[in-house]
Structure 1
């Protein structure tokens, strides 16, 4: 089972910001691997919500939430 997601990366230069987007493929060998990935994403989300994760801005938070949402959709489609 595999899930694909877009992963934007920002490079800051002297005068401009360069945004590179690529697609990552996550492959899972078992249902337990999927469970632990979803658990880790949910625990990270909770830590962000509670302010336990520093150095996160609105854009980074949106990108993380997008990854989490895509993964949850993947899990639901593979039940």
Structure 2
């Protein structure tokens, strides 16, 4: 049994970037970027960004900071 992604791939595998762009009505740069990502990483999922991760402050800490600021 073929899945939807297999069916789409079979239809688009032999097409050029321009033809895929016209068929899907999306920019050629988007098609090119997706194909490059697929060839390089083997996936189109969003990858984690480099750099320092954002510190997540939980709700109780925010409430405490707000209370301290108001009382000062």
**TM-score normalised per structure 2:** 0.29
Structure ranking higher on relative contact order (CA contacts 8 Å, 6+ apart): 1
**TM-score normalised per structure 1:** 0.27
**Structure whose alpha-carbon radius of gyration is higher:** 2
Higher helix share: 2
Higher strand share: 1
